[in-house]
Amino acid sequence: MQKRKLGNSDLEVSALGLGCMGMSSAYGPAADKTKMIALIRGAVERGITFFDTAEAYGPFANEELLGEALAPVRNQVVIATKFGFDFDPNTGARTGGLNSRPEHIKGVAEASLKRLKTDVIDLFYQHRVDPDVPIEDVAGAVKELIQEGKVTHFGLSEAAAKTIRRAHAVQPVTAVQSEYSLWTRDPEAEVLPTLEELGIGFVPFSPLGAGFLTGKINANTTFDSTDFRNISPRFTPEARKANQALVDLLNQVAARKGATPAQIALAWLLAQKPWIVPIPGTTKLNRLEENIGATKIELSPEDLREIKDAAANIQVQGARLPEAVLKLTGR
């Protein structure tokens, strides 16, 4: 497995990470814990060293899963987790909205350390920007955690360029995580140029378009009642039918490369910048191996030009998230 550094930091990780959210939430019922522990350890055996979680996934269950799965190999891996929401510490029920008050951040860090069975969080992201707390205060709180040795690196998720700059001035930001793929290219306008200028790494989540870019979903696909895609405007049957053009493009390139559309979608991301580390999620070993295969695919300048030109003529239908959720992003 190739390695990449997140920006100018000393944080080196596998070129692909593993997003673990879907093992515990968002895509239907939680997967079998024993099987997921085996999958996570299988990822380590195959060279994955970067694992992404959050207290919100479950809530709490995903951090506990990673803590158990990675305990035997803790010194070989990088664990990223997130703070920023209010949950009842006993039940996990959502008790409020966003909360990035410094004292709350420190409390979350202590709880996450216990669930992750570790004495340090390698990368601690603000999950969503809290408009009620100055980002300088957030960065200052994480800076104190770093000085105390409880956190090693600071990250932001779905933050706007101006917020990234303000945070970075207080405590250097190692990585920014946002949705980015061939069908969600918003970061290209302002965020990616800002990260390049400041020497910050970028971690695309949902790099396979919540599964759509794998080519395994069509207008007739049905989802579990608890799957978030049921309320995503981009996953209405009409939008899926219209967006099939993007999958057709990936299939066209994949056929020529002896690859799958998912592999081309990931290879395209890896080709954008050397400091980009996608974190596709899966609950299946064969999909994990398929995703890892993307690191061996080289897209030539001609391939990239073909994808760029063709994608420019495809109008993606539907917002990537429901309006209420979108309001929490890009602040």
Tell me the average pLDDT of the chain. Answer: 97
Q: Is residue 92 part of a domain?
A: yes
Q: What CA–CA distance (Å, rounded) separates 12 from 180?
A: 21
> What would the pLDDT profile of 175-193 be if each residue is shown by its tens digit?
999 999 999 999 999 999 9
Residues 287, 282: Cα–Cα separation, whole Å: 7
* Cβ 167 vs Cβ 174: under 8 Å: no
Task: Determine the Cα–Cα distance for residues 157 and 202; give it in Å rounded to an integer.
Answer: 10
Distance from C-alpha of 37 to C-alpha of 253, rounded to nearest angstrom = 34
Residue with tokens 């951040």: 105
CB 142 within 8 A of CB 154: yes
Residue 244 lies in a domain: no
Mean pLDDT, residues 54-61: 97
For 208-237, the pLDDT digits (tens) are: 999 999 999 999 999 999 999 999 999 999
Task: Give per-residue pLDDT as tens, 108-127.
Answer: 999 999 999 999 999 999 99
DSSP H or E stretch at residue 140: helix 135-147
Number of domains in the chain: 1
Residue 306, in any domain of the structure: no
Both tokens of 139, joined, read 């960065």
Domain-embedded: residue 89: yes
Question: What CATH number is given to the structural domain containing 167?
Answer: 3.20.20.100
DSSP 241-281: HHHHHHHHHHHHHHHHHT--HHHHHHHHHHHH-TTB----B
Which whole-number Å values give the CA distances from 300 to 79, 214, 257, 260, 310, in the listed order?
32, 21, 11, 17, 15
Q: Which of 27, 57, 125, 180 is catalytic?
A: 57
Q: Tell me what pLDDT residue 211 has.
A: 98
For residue 85, tell me if it sits in a domain: yes
Give me the phi and psi of 11, to 5 degrees please. -85, 105
**Residue 84 falls within a domain, yes or no?**
yes
Q: Is 57 a catalytic residue?
A: yes
Is this model's pTM higher than 0.75 or not?
Answer: yes
Burial 176-200 (b: 16+ CB within 10 A, else e): bbbbbbbbbeebeeebbebbeebbb
Whether the Cβ atoms of residue 91 and residue 128 lie closer than 8 Å to each other: no
> pLDDT confidence of 198, banded at 50, 70, 90?
very high
- Give residue 165's pLDDT band: very low, low, confident or very high (50, 70, 90): very high
Q: For residue 148, what pLDDT is reported?
A: 98
Strand pairing of 94-98 and 121-126?
A: unpaired
Q: Which domain holds residue 158?
A: 3-209+273-297
Q: What is the pLDDT of residue 120?
A: 98
Identify the pLDDT of residue 107: 98
pLDDT on residue 272: 98
Measuring CA to CA, which residue among 158, 144, 74, 176 is closest to residue 330?
158
Mean pLDDT computed over 272-279: 98
The tokens for 323 are 């309006």
pLDDT score of 222:
97
Query: What local confidence, expressed as pLDDT, does residue 280 receive?
Result: 98
> Given this model, what pLDDT does residue 81 score?
99
pLDDT band at residue 16 using 50, 70 and 90 as cut-offs: very high
Report pLDDT digits (tens) over 289-314: 999 999 999 999 999 999 999 999 99
Identity (one letter) of the amino acid at 178? Answer: S
Question: Using 50, 70 and 90 to split pLDDT, how confident is the model at 256?
Answer: very high
Q: Is residue 171 in some structural domain? A: yes
How confident is the model at residue 52, as a pLDDT? Answer: 99
Residue 125 lies in a domain: yes
Q: Any bridge partners for residue 50, and if so which?
A: 78
DSSP E strand boundaries for the chain:
3-5, 12-14, 18-19, 50-52, 78-83, 85-87, 94-98, 121-126, 151-157, 173-179, 201-205
